[in-house]
């Protein structure tokens, strides 16, 4: 028997439609206050006044948004705050509280919605509440506040992540995951499946919501600290991701035929682009390594590589690429294929318009850029160095022979002697941070090529781990910004763009291998393996990146009568390597001003190798 107080169920009746306010606005499942707090966090709501009789009070609440005060009144304090939030939304984002055109009531809070295409969601063809929520989620992901997988699944429910690759051998990022959206595959790699999924989700958010991510510093997992954008000094995240993906994928491809040497600790590569948004990149040079030559192996013939750190090797590979591109001008039929064009005055060459070079390093360069704790709480909160006057900040540092890490230079040790090194003194080499800072003054091309081309500077640097924007900016140009004066044109202080990636590399605790590999674009698929301790190929041959072979390339350009900027010819060129370098007076002066800038800033004296190693004589290649 039914109770007279209960109503019987009527399942045949249609559910009640959502109530509309008098102004036609839809009551969303989220309150106006919740929506406003998602759009503008940290807002303070105040009860300004209360009046009316005790049985029917009236409260006036207010909230300040972007400098404007909005108010609302109601019989309860909570409701008054809701009215104030609603007033703010109606002014700032009126479409959020009004129905979409067409009159269809779409509930975007459901886990799935068959009426909305994924492509529409990604192209922001959605009602404003969804768009506002998307903007908020993307922003939080970029700032490291929300897990990217969770955010992406909230924006586009039902996505499936697939494991595309799992390296059975020990590698840095063994897992590669992908997610397919609108028939396009987005990939990410990581040290674990969880990290790889997060990297793939970041790739989707970066590429599909590019308009929300421009000029944002990516915030990767631990060991990579990043900070708010500095505007024009920040490389766009899409470009940073593209550059890192190109280098990593290229390395995997070229090392398939050399699996015994694929293990590495640091990878670097240089990417060349020809458009403004850096999306058409081509890898021109790749290098790995973390070691320097042993003192007993230094050469008086320019036959060994002194420094086999990855970024140094990749830059030397780029120099070799420059030589091959200049040689194209020896034949009128191939001159148009070169990245260089003849200067307006007919003396030497310059880069063609819009050609840019970008350096990717899997970790921050050794030296000043890496002297920080990635877990300092105070540093993790803001883009400011709280201790800029610490003695360790900005110091010139040297690598340790046959080891890893760097130590500060000492003025008394600035000159190294050949006999001292032979007797057992450690051979010291400037840190990678210092060398990249040098490239930002004198260019990438080096002194010999300055006979032929104008200075060429890096456009950007992308760091895969241990990224700290403040420390990196200081290390690469900031520490001499106020003391560098007198540079001869066209030399300048290059303020390089920077960012990190959405697939950061995990910290490596194992011992680094003693080998270094290099690959250069115009050398085809050839991979050269170097014994970093001896500075020569593992076969015992002289490396193609050595001073000796670069000097041969220099003379080959002269024999082909390639126009020079300095007027040097085959007949007037000195046959001593050091003398040929010193004849480019503007380059020599620029380097001297850079060294003086470090000294004036109290950061130490630039360490020089024994002069004897550059006093070798050119010898023509045997036929």
Query: Where do the structural domains in the chain lie, given as residue ranges?
Result: 21-98, 100-213, 233-373+431-614
Helix, strand or coil, per DSSP, at residue 357? strand
Q: Which of 184, 182, 200 is nearest to 192 (CA)?
A: 200
Contact 532, 293 (CB under 8 A): yes
Instruction: State the pLDDT at residue 229.
Output: 39
Instruction: Evaluate whether the domain defined by 100-213 bears CATH number 3.30.160.20.
Output: yes
pLDDT at 243 over 90: yes
The C-alpha atoms of residue 298 and residue 535 are separated, in whole angstroms, by: 8
d(CA 456, CA 547): 19
| Confidence grade of residue 439 (pLDDT, cut at 50, 70, 90) | very high
* Tokens linked to 340: 């260089």
Averaged pLDDT of the chain:
82
Weakest-pLDDT range from 54-68, 267-281, 553-567, 609-623: 54-68
**Token pair for residue 87?**
């007033």
The pLDDT score that the predictor gives to residue 93 is 66
**What does the pLDDT read at residue 43?**
85
Q: Note whether 26 and 105 are within 8 A (CB).
A: yes
Does the pLDDT at position 614 exceed 90?
yes
* Range from 381-390, 500-509, 548-557 that averages highest in pLDDT: 548-557
50/48 Cα distance (integer angstroms): 7
Identical fold, 21-98 and 100-213 = yes
Instruction: Tell me which residues are annotated as active site.
Output: 311
Residue 336 pLDDT > 90: yes
3-state helix, strand, coil in the chain (%, to 5): 35, 15, 50
pTM: 0.71
Q: Note the pLDDT tens digit of each residue in 186-242.
A: 888 877 888 888 888 888 887 777 555 554 555 444 333 333 334 457 888 888 989
Cα–Cα distances (Å) from 306 to 269, 545, 613, in that order, read 19, 11, 10
Specify whether the CB–CB gap between 164 and 178 falls below 8 A. Answer: yes
| Maximum separation of any 2 CA atoms in the chain, in Å | 117
The architecture in CATH of the region 21-98 reads 2-Layer Sandwich (3.30)
Q: Is residue 119 pLDDT above 80, yes or no?
A: no
pLDDT at 474: 94
Check pLDDT > 90 for residue 459. yes
Residue with tokens 């081509």: 282
Query: What mean pLDDT comes out for the span 171-194?
Result: 82
Torsion of CA 96, 98, 103, 108, to 10 degrees: 30
- Token digits of residue 21: 């306010």
- Taking residues 462-466, report their average pLDDT: 91
CA 622 to chain centre: 43
pLDDT of the residue at 472: 94
In this predicted structure, which of 195-209, 266-280, 382-396 has the lowest mean pLDDT? Answer: 382-396
Which pLDDT score, from 0 to 100, does residue 411 have?
A: 55
CA distance 388 to 406: 20
- Stronger pLDDT, 120 or 69, i.e. the higher one: 69
CB-based burial of residue 567 (10 Å sphere; 0-12 exposed, 13-18 middle, 19+ buried)?
Answer: exposed
- How far is residue 401 from each of residues 298, 314, 425, measured CA to CA in Å? 12, 20, 10
């Amino acid at each position: 028997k039914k109770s007279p107080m209960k109503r019987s169920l009527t399942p045949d009746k249609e559910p009640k439609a959502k109530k509309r306010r008098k102004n036609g606005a839809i009551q969303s499942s989220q309150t106006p206050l919740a929506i406003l707090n998602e759009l503008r966090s940290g807002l303070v709501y105040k009860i300004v006044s209360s009046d009316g009789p005790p049985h029917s009070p009236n409260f006036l609440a207010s909230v300040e948004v972007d400098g404007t005060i909005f108010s609302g009144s109601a019989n309860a304090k909570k409701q008054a705050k809701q009215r104030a939030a609603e007033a703010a939304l109606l002014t700032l984002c009126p479409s959020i509280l009004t129905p979409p055109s067409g009159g269809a009531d779409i509930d975007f809070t459901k886990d799935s919605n068959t009426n909305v295409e994924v492509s529409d969601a990604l192209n922001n063809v959605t009602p404003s509440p969804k768009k506002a929520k998307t903007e908020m989620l993307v922003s939080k992901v970029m700032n490291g506040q929300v897990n990217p997988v969770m955010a992406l699944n909230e924006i586009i429910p039902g996505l499936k992540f697939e494991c595309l690759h799992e390296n059975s051998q020990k590698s840095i990022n063994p897992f590669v995951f992908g997610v397919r959206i609108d028939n396009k595959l987005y990939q990410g790699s990581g040290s674990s499946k969880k990290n790889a999924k997060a990297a793939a989700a970041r790739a989707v958010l970066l590429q599909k919501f590019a308009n929300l991510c421009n000029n944002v510093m990516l915030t990767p997992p631990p060991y990579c600290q990043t900070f708010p954008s500095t505007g024009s000094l920040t490389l766009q995240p899409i470009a940073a991701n593209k550059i890192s993906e190109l280098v990593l994928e290229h390395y995997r491809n070229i090392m398939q035929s050399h699996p015994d040497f694929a293990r590495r600790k640091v990878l670097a590569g240089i990417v060349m682009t020809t458009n403004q948004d850096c999306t058409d990149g081509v890898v021109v040079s790749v290098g790995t390594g973390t070691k320097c030559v042993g003192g007993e192996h230094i050469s008086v013939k320019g036959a060994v590589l002194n420094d086999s750190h990855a970024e140094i090797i990749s830059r030397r590979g780029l120099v070799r690429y420059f030589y091959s591109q200049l040689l194209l001008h020896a034949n009128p039929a191939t001159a148009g294929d070169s990245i260089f064009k003849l200067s307006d005055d007919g003396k030497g060459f310059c880069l063609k318009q819009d050609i840019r070079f970008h350096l990717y390093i899997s970790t921050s360069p050794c030296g000043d850029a890496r002297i920080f704790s990635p877990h300092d709480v105070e540093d993790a909160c803001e883009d400011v160095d709280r201790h800029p006057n610490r003695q360790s900040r900005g110091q010139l540092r040297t690598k340790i022979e046959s080891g890893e890490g760097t130590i500060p230079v000492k003025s008394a040790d600035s000159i190294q002697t050949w006999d001292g090194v032979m007797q057992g003194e450690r051979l010291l080499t400037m840190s990678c941070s210092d060398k990249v800072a040098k490239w930002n003054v004198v260019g990438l091309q080096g002194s010999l090529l300055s006979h032929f081309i104008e200075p060429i500077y890096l456009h950007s640097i992308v760091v895969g781990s241990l990224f700290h924007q403040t420390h990196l900016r200081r290390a690469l140009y900031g520490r001499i910004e106020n003391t560098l004066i007198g540079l001869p044109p066209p030399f300048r202080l290059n303020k390089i763009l920077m960012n990190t990636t959405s697939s950061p590399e995990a910290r490596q605790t194992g011992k680094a291998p003693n080998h270094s590999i290099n690959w250069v674009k115009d050398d085809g698929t050839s991979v050269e393996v170097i014994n970093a301790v001896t500075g020569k190929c593992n076969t015992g041959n002289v490396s193609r990146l050595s001073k000796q072979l670069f000097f041969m390339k220099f003379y080959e350009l002269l024999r082909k009568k390639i126009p020079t900027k300095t007027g040097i010819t085959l007949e007037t060129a000195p046959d001593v390597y050091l003398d040929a370098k010193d004849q480019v007076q503007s380059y020599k002066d620029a380097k001297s001003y850079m060294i003086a800038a470090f000294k004036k800033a109290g950061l130490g004296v630039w360490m020089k190798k024994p002069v004897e190693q550059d006093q070798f004589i050119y010898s023509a290649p045997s036929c």
